[in-house]
Amino acid sequence: MTSIPMLPAILVDMVGSFIIIILSFLSLRYAWLLIRKQPDNFLWGFLFYFCLTLVCFSVSRAVGHLLKQIFLIFNNKDQWQVLAPYSGGFNTLLMISLAAVSIYYHKGIEGFRAIQQKARSLKEANEQLEVSADKLLRLNVDLEGIVETRTMKLAASEKKFRNFFSNSKDMVYFCNASNRLVNMNSAGLDMLGYSMEEEPELSLHQVFCNEEDLDNYFETIVSVGFVEDLEAEFVRADGTVIYVLLSATALFDEDREFVGCEGIAKDLTRVRTMMEQLASSEKMASVGQMAAGVAHEINTPLGVILGYSQLMMDDFSPESEEGQSLQVIERQAKACRKIVADLLKFSRQSESARENIMVYEVLEDVLAVTEHTLSMDHIHVHRDLDENIPTIVGDTEKLRQVFVNFINNAHHAMEEQGSGDLFLSCHYEEAANQVVATIRDTGHGIPTEVVAKIFDPFFTTKSVGKGTGLGLSVSYGIIQEHGGTIDVESPAKRDDGEPKGTAFHVRFPVTLRESASVKK
């Protein structure tokens, strides 16, 4: 073979050029579809521009090649030589562009990856943020619920303790470090004789009656932290004293500094009075038993002394010295017997009648006997006797003796001042179902220190010989026997407001009994 035909090369060139144009456009189509689907995707953008540049290059080159073959086939070599530099220039230019686009890939993909990484990080951060926001939202919702529940519980608790504070029948108070009472419930103010409307500014110094008690209170509360069952006396607004049982706790701040105290005080005045009365009753009962025993023992020898002295009086003339002495013995023996009889009455050992009595009638009877004597000493009697009162059951004679005792005492209390007023009242207290008789004088009154002793046997403030000290104790025994009580008020309140003198309030229970006398 001496030569090789160029025809196959010419055909390959022409057909290949044509196929290249077709394939480059088909590639560009898919690149276009990709970029249209995801315009923001860098890779698709790169592939699109790569394919676009390749299409330009392929078209430039393939068209150049086809034109060359066509021109040469049709013997237009000159024309092709004119066109050839342009075709070559374009091919060169587009080839360089294609190379430039290819180089751009790596840096572009790095940037794209960096952006993707950032986007992924951002997405993860957003997801975490969403999760956090969701958690926060749930927490917020839960928190709202918790806060609502806690608030309700707090409100319920506050209401409970507020009710306890307000409705407590004992004094509840809060005090600051300077002893100032910053809060006190209405029961406490009522106990001290103030009203809520007054809003009094009180301190413990004003409330405590004894400075010593207050010092004791503070020393204990600061050193121990609390005070338990401290017995103290409080001063009321009107100056009267009440007896309280106090328990308090110290309040400290975060630095353990004393900032105040809170406490509860219970008014035990009534309890204390009752205890004193009970103690007094027990004392009187034991004294009565002793007196009864003594009276019984003395009564027999006294009867013998009186009997023998009277027998001996028959043997001697009354004017004789012996007769005189025997009269003295007889008189003193009788006096002793009267004392013994009084002691027996006090100890309720004597016999009693049981009959229906109108108390005002007894008072009238007593006044009928004593009024003349009273008027002699310029003592005016004022009656306030209610006749529409129920009867009580008792011994009229003994009750007369009681009222005589009271009136005599009143008389003695007023006779020194030369005049006075004696008030007698009798009325029915329906609520307590009691008949109350009151004997009030305008005398010198009973000193506070002896008020508790006036019912003791043989206790008297009178001079020797004027009183035996058995009058009030006998009266006490009789009233006890009738189921009644005696209250002493000294100084006694008067209608004009100024307290003076003494008042005895005798209370009898009203019980329905037959009018017939009964022997006990």
Which residues does residue 392 pair with via DSSP β-bridges, in sequence order?
A: 357
Which CB, 109 or 245, lies closer to another protein?
109
Which range of residues in 83-91, 187-195, 209-217, 496-504 is near another protein by CB under 8 A?
A: 83-91
| 2 is a contact residue toward another protein (CB under 8 A) | yes
Which CB, 92 or 240, lies closer to another protein?
92
CB 128 to another protein: min, Å = 24
Name the one residue in this structure whose structure tokens are 């307290």: 499
For residue 18, the one-letter residue type is: F
b or e along 196-206 (b: 16 or more beta carbons within 10 Å of the residue's beta carbon)? eeeeeebebee
Q: What does the DSSP assignment read for 405-474?
A: HHHHHHHHHHHTTT-EEEEEEEEEETTTTEEEEEEEE-SS---HHHHTTTTSTT---SPTTT--S-HHHH
CB 106 to another protein: min, Å = 4
CB 99 to another protein: min, Å = 4
Which CB, 15 or 139, lies closer to another protein?
15
Which range of residues in 94-102, 205-213, 257-265, 397-405 is near another protein by CB under 8 A?
A: 94-102
Question: Considering only residues 375-394, where is the footprint of another protein by CB under 8 A?
Answer: none
| 300 is a contact residue toward another protein (CB under 8 A) | no
| 78 is a contact residue toward another protein (CB under 8 A) | no
Alpha carbons 335 and 339: distance in angstroms, whole number: 6
How many amino acids of this chain bind another protein (CB under 8 A)? Answer: 52
For residue 492, give the DSSP letter.
P
Alpha carbons 400 and 363: distance in angstroms, whole number: 7
- Please, what is the end-to-end C-alpha distance for the chain in angstroms? 178
CB 4 to another protein: min, Å = 5
Which CB, 16 or 307, lies closer to another protein?
16
Question: Considering only residues 5-44, where is the footprint of another protein by CB under 8 A?
Answer: 5-10, 12-13, 15-17, 19-20, 23-24, 26-27, 29-31, 33-34, 37-38, 44
Q: Which of 82, 96, 114, 141 touches another protein by CB under 8 A? A: 96
CB 484 within 8 A of CB 508: yes
Which range of residues in 81-89, 179-187, 301-309, 446-454 is near another protein by CB under 8 A?
A: 81-89
Question: Considering only residues 458-517, where is the footprint of another protein by CB under 8 A?
Answer: none
Q: Which of 95, 230, 336, 341 touches another protein by CB under 8 A? A: 95
Alpha carbons 386 and 437: distance in angstroms, whole number: 10
Q: Which of 40, 85, 463, 495 touches another protein by CB under 8 A? A: 85
| 372 is a contact residue toward another protein (CB under 8 A) | no
Which CB, 52 or 478, lies closer to another protein?
52
SS3 of 258, please? strand
Give which of 390, 407, 424 is closest to 512, Cα–Cα: 390
Question: Considering only residues 43-62, where is the footprint of another protein by CB under 8 A?
Answer: 44, 47, 51, 54, 58
| 72 is a contact residue toward another protein (CB under 8 A) | yes
> What ranges in 170-268 are assigned the alpha helix state H?
186-191, 204-207, 211-224
Which CB, 102 or 128, lies closer to another protein?
102
* Tokens standing for residue 202: 């009180």
Which residues does residue 326 pair with via DSSP β-bridges, in sequence order?
A: none
Which CB, 10 or 67, lies closer to another protein?
10
Q: Which of 39, 82, 100, 118 touches another protein by CB under 8 A? A: 100
* Tokens standing for residue 493: 């309140």
Q: Which of 1, 368, 464, 512 touches another protein by CB under 8 A? A: 1
CB 71 to another protein: min, Å = 9
Count other C-beta atoms under 10 Å from residue 144's C-beta.
Answer: 10
Site track for another protein across 253-292, x = CB under 8 A: ----------------------------------------
| 114 is a contact residue toward another protein (CB under 8 A) | no
Count other C-beta atoms under 10 Å from residue 261's C-beta.
Answer: 24
CB 63 to another protein: min, Å = 14
Tell me phi and psi for residue 487, to 5 degrees: -115, 135
* Tokens standing for residue 90: 């374009």
CB 79 to another protein: min, Å = 14
CB 149 to another protein: min, Å = 47
Alpha carbons 53 and 27: distance in angstroms, whole number: 11
Count other C-beta atoms under 10 Å from residue 25's C-beta.
Answer: 14
Which CB, 3 or 300, lies closer to another protein?
3
What is the Cα 277 distance to its own chain's centre? Answer: 32
**Exposure of 31 by Cβ count < 10 A (0-12 exposed, 13-18 middle, 19+ buried)?**
buried
Alpha carbons 347 and 185: distance in angstroms, whole number: 48
Name the one residue in this structure whose structure tokens are 């160029």: 6
CB 478 within 8 A of CB 329: no
For residue 180, give the DSSP letter.
B
Which CB, 88 or 301, lies closer to another protein?
88
| 91 is a contact residue toward another protein (CB under 8 A) | yes
Kindly list the residues in this chain that would bind another protein in the complex (CB under 8 A).
Answer: 1-10, 12-13, 15-17, 19-20, 23-24, 26-27, 29-31, 33-34, 37-38, 44, 47, 51, 54, 58, 72-73, 75, 85, 88-89, 91-92, 95-96, 98-100, 102-103, 105-106, 109, 113
